Amino acid sequence: MSDVRYMISDASKLVDVEAHVLRYWEEELELPIGRNEMGHRYYTEEDIRLFRHIKELKDRGVQLKAVKMLLPDLEKGDSEITHLLARVDKLPLPAESQSAAREEKMHQFQCIMSRLISEALEDHTEKMGAEIGTQVSGQVIKEMDYLLRMKEEREDERFRRLDEAIRSSQKARKERALLGGEEKKKRGFFRQKKGQTI
């Protein structure tokens, strides 16, 4: 046995199946897969070889229950597929083998669908987040523009009223100044008349 240890992602690539399939086969076939100090699975060269044989049998239509019965031969190193397939025909499979096969396929289908739905939701969530962010940003910008415009209009109105008040005040001053000058002239005119003797 080799000292090389593979993590599940590497092992799944070497066997050419998804990682969940390796976990499923391990559980269903009760395979003694090693664990590291942290409790993570690791696979040896021997495990990879065994999984490749299991995959080849599965690809040829052999049910997992039959593969389980062939495990002793696979573990001994009997890897000739034609010999193993001939043995499958002679194996006494239980009556429920068809329902077990259906259950296995259903489980695999559920795993695949779960993964696809999960990926689709992640992708959709990212797109929706970006779209909502863009829409919210657009709305915030429009609202800010509106508020700034309203503020400018209020300031313009305030300055217009202030300007009117200043002009009105200046006009009133001019009018008072004109009236004050005319009154002085009138007073001067009347003073001259009083000072003159008739």
What's 63's domain CATH number? 1.10.1660.10
| Residue range 139-196, pLDDT digits in tens | 888 888 899 999 999 999 999 999 999 999 999 988 888 887 676 666 665 565 555 5
Would you say residue 39 lies in a domain? yes
Would you say residue 161 lies in a domain? no
**Segment of 17-21, 66-70, 98-102 carrying the highest mean pLDDT:** 17-21
Q: Is the pTM of this model over 0.85?
A: no
Would you say residue 101 lies in a domain? no
Would you say residue 159 lies in a domain? no
Would you say residue 20 lies in a domain? yes
Report the number of distinct structural domains present in the chain: 1
- Domain range for 68: 8-93
Would you say residue 135 lies in a domain? no
The Cα–Cα gap between 77 and 71 comes to 10
Would you say residue 148 lies in a domain? no
| Residue range 84-131, pLDDT digits in tens | 666 555 555 554 556 666 777 888 888 888 888 988 888 888 888 888
